[in-house]
A and B are shown apart, each in its own frame.
Chain A
Amino acid sequence: MIPAAFDYVAPTSVQEALAVLAQAGDDAKVLGGGQSLLPILRMRLNAPETVIDLGRIDALRGISEDGDALVIGAMTTYAEVLASDLVRDHALVLHKAVATIADPQIRHRGTVGGALVHADPAGDVGAPVLALGGELVIAGSGGERRVAAADFFEDLFTTAVGDDELLVAVRIPKHTGWGAAYEKFVRVAQQWSIVAVAATVRAEGGTITQARIGLTNMGSTPLRATAVEDALVGKGAGDLAAICASAGAGTNPPSDLNGDADYRRHLAGVLTRRAVAAALG
């Protein structure tokens, strides 16, 4: 199918985009990489009057350093993230997660910002950004504000970004030299996560000194397994099974044809053990 007719605007600055958004209001939709929005428009699940394409705003692209943080522009593609040494060096778990998304063609178009605002609970960008304690930079008519990842994801497909706002960047505190792994459980290639676990750890002589764990598709938003993170400190490879088994405790994951909630809680424990073991190296 093809989308319903719409007006198309391609602003070249964030200011211009915000002005168009303010004018068009509810009837407008922002286009990032289009890899989720275009299928939605083609299936006519949505029919905005105006589509505002962010693809011509150069300021939204690219990866840079700002002191202790990495700054990733909202329109930076997955392929650009994967090619970035900065991401590998300072946010390896994000690199590992992005490598599992969809397929090469979609990774050439899909963007970090689009994925975060789309906020599909099975999406693979949210959990690593949450685990790394990322901050989202949101622009509106009143200027910019920053929201912690923990407060950014509100519900299924719902974030702190208002209808008249844009996500402009993600700031990620550097986790230089941390080991990392993303364990994604799927039945076939190119599938959305049934459950996935993002783990990144710092270790000295095989003993974990710090651990961060994010869960994908274990609820309506990405989650952090903080009790397991705390319990891992001071432990090593031999202790993982007992500690990680409870990673899914207290979560409320979906039940569907891929597995019921109990099975997902089981998977979360198994995948957490595998991810932490792989992150320890």
Chain B
Amino acid sequence: MTRINVTVDGVKYSDEVEPRTLLVHYLRETLGKVGTVVGCDTSNCGACTVHLDGRSVKSCNVLAVQADGHEVTTIEGIGSGGELHPMQKAFHENHALQCGFCTPGMIMQAIDLLKDNPDPSEHEIREGLEGNLCRCTGYHNIVKAVAAAAKAGE
């Protein structure tokens, strides 16, 4: 076992983990942050996307020990005081989800995308989300939601 100190959604945690523990399993099973989900076995789907020191990563492809000393933000940490994050609001208002399984990862990646490029074209939104798969929506409303959030953020 290895001791790690991680800040997750603004709260400091110190835990003993097996080195082979994936960050996503640490978040879900040790911390109970089940908002972050696992959708594949190949690091393709992006459902597990979280921010590590402010940048998006696939948490199924990072070891918990690699996050030692770092800061993690999950879908559970982006809203504040009962208020949805603007990106969550935009997904809600634009009907950007059906089953909702891809949504936590989509939202975390979309937030990362706007950080780099606050005013993306439709094409840039699609490219920015290329690591996130959705099996329901056909992406159309997801792209609309991200564009709406970008507009709202101006």
Interface residues of A (CB under 8 A from B): 1-8, 10, 31, 34-35, 38-39, 41-43, 51, 53, 55, 79, 102-106, 108-109, 189-190
Contact = CB atoms under 8 A, between A and B. Distances in A.
B131 A2 contact: no
Contact of A38 (B18, B25, B61, B127): B61
A31 B132 CA distance: 25
Contacts of B25: 2
A79 B113 CA distance: 13
Contacts of A103: 46, 130-132
3 smallest beta-carbon distances between A and B, as pairs = A103-B131, A8-B19, A189-B130
22 contacts: A2-B22, A3-B20, A10-B65, A34-B61, A34-B62, A38-B61, A38-B62, A39-B43, A41-B20, A42-B41, A53-B63, A103-B130, A103-B131, A104-B56, A104-B109, A104-B112, A104-B130, A105-B46, A105-B56, A106-B58, A108-B55, A190-B131
Interface residues of B, number: 33
A109 B132 CA distance: 16
A178 B65 CA distance: 42
B42 A34 contact: no
A182 to B, nearest CB: 15
B65 A106 contact: no
Contacts of B137: none
Contacts of B132: 103
B107 to A, nearest CB: 13
A106 B43 contact: yes
Nearest to A102: B131
Contacts, number: 82
B30 interface: no
B36 interface: no
Given A43-B41, A109-B61, A190 B130 contact: yes
Contacts of A108: 52, 55-57
Interface of B: 2, 18-22, 25, 41-44, 46, 49, 52, 55-58, 60-63, 65-66, 68, 109, 112-113, 127-128, 130-132
Contact of B66 (A34, A79, A105): A34
Nearest to A42: B41
A43 B112 CA distance: 29
Contacts of B109: 104-105
A122 to B, nearest CB: 15
A145 B126 CA distance: 43
Contacts of A34: 61-63, 66
A4 B43 contact: no
Nearest to A1: B41
A190 B44 contact: yes
A160 B2 CA distance: 33
Nearest to B50: A105
Given A39-B43, A105-B56, A106-B58, A55 B21 contact: no
Contacts of A1: 41
A42 B112 CA distance: 26
A189 B132 CA distance: 10
Contacts of B65: 8, 10, 53
